[in-house]
Amino acid sequence: MPSRFARRTALIAGVLGGPAGFIAAAAWGLPTALGAHRRRLAPVVRRSKQFADGKFHNTVPTPALSPANTRDGLLRQWHEERHVGLPGGPIPLAAAEIPVEPAELAVTWLGHASALLEVDGQRVLLDPVWGYRVSPSPVFGPTRLHEPPMPVEDLPRVDAIVISHDHYDHLDLPTVRALLTTQTAPFVVPIGIGEHLRKWHVPEDRIVELDWDETHAVGGLTLTCTEARHFSGRYFYRDTTLWASWAITGPRHRVFFGGDTGYTPAFAGIGARLGPFDLTLLPIGAYNDAWHAIHMDPEEAVRAHGDVGGRVLLPIHWATFNLAFHRWAEPVQRLLAAAGRTGVQVVVPQPGERIDVLDPPPLRDWWTAVGSAADGAHEDGGVGSSVLARTVTRLLSLLPG
């Protein structure tokens, strides 16, 4: 899939040619990719207890974007240091070996926050992203650091497709379109995201929208939309749809999926009500001081794992896209150091590797050989162009602080 989108982008830019052609290529498909406008969202999201004064809110004060002068510095850092998050070599992929019948408890990590769960004989697909670029534009935005470990068409039949929030690295239009034709499972999403899906022609009977603490049954599984500490938005309007973590509970096993979140005291309540969990999938990457409230660092992931009563921790939200300024391998290195201090059991699969959670393999270090990009490297890192960084800096400076 990535190569097809890349070729299409190059073709568009080549045919149109020149600066005007470059701008046209960058905007190709933009209105559709942006999703539903807030006017369309308004009648749906008003029923949520988390929605007030025209937007969704976290239960604890959470700045999603720093004041204007800090934003300028952050965008300059993005322009000047974006290469820091690149891997030092090719990222190895494992051949996804998925059995015909789903197991009692297993997980296949597909990169970033995407994973295929097997829980009590059913399958749940989490935040599936097969797209080449996590952006509304086919020209600008972070690109994949590794290929998808398997074609989306090769996925086995799943019972539910769960989405945590509407950011591009978690809700991917090309992947949704592919899943419309290759799967029949419902999309189970936080409230508001259903409007994005309706705009993309997902049938109504395949859309389930939930507020925090609401549930949906799929076969023998109960999917509970649980609190997270984050934000939403696919363009300059923020917090127009809800963000969430998820508890997937079966008759015998329980899984907690963090999606994308900052640390929140709500994790302890989730663990008390719905835990303990046999497996947690928690984000460890894309942290930075400027957005510490909305992205956990590795040490906070270990703390959250303990709060929810987790047994085995699988780190997500790292390795696949260059979204922050830490070195590529740093998140997993810090995670293992923190887990070692507290005795937490961690599994770190390669993208595409399937883990039997009831009999996890010994920890195998595959990331050290990849390493992080050498200091002073200046690869693009998927951002697209320094022009973009300067343009976005100017646009963000116009926003209220």
> Do 80 and 228 reside in the same domain of the chain?
no
Q: Residue 166: which CATH number?
A: 3.60.15.10
Of 65, 62, 46, the residue nearest 266 (C-alpha): 62
On whether residue 40 sits in a domain, the answer given is no
Sheet containing 207-210: give its strands across. Answer: 207-210, 187-190, 160-162, 122-126, 114-119, 105-111, 354-356
Of 182, 170, 186, 157, the residue nearest 232 (C-alpha): 170
Range of the domain at 82: 68-86+373-401
- The CA distance from 141 to 152, in Å, is 22
> Do 230 and 296 reside in the same domain of the chain?
yes
pTM over 0.85: yes
> Do 346 and 386 reside in the same domain of the chain?
no
Domain count, the chain: 2
> Do 214 and 338 reside in the same domain of the chain?
yes
> Do 204 and 236 reside in the same domain of the chain?
yes
Q: What residues of the chain score a pLDDT lower than 70?
A: 1-30, 64-82, 374-401
Tokens of 196: 């994005």
pLDDT for position 380: 46
On whether residue 361 sits in a domain, the answer given is yes
- The CA distance from 340 to 103, in Å, is 29
pLDDT for position 29: 52
Q: Work out whether strand 122-126 and strand 114-119 pair parallel, antiparallel, or are unpaired.
A: antiparallel
pLDDT for position 63: 79
> Do 96 and 76 reside in the same domain of the chain?
no
pLDDT for position 75: 55
CB 370 within 8 A of CB 328: yes
CA atoms within a 13 Å half-sphere pointing along the CA-CB vector of 209 = 20
On whether residue 61 sits in a domain, the answer given is no
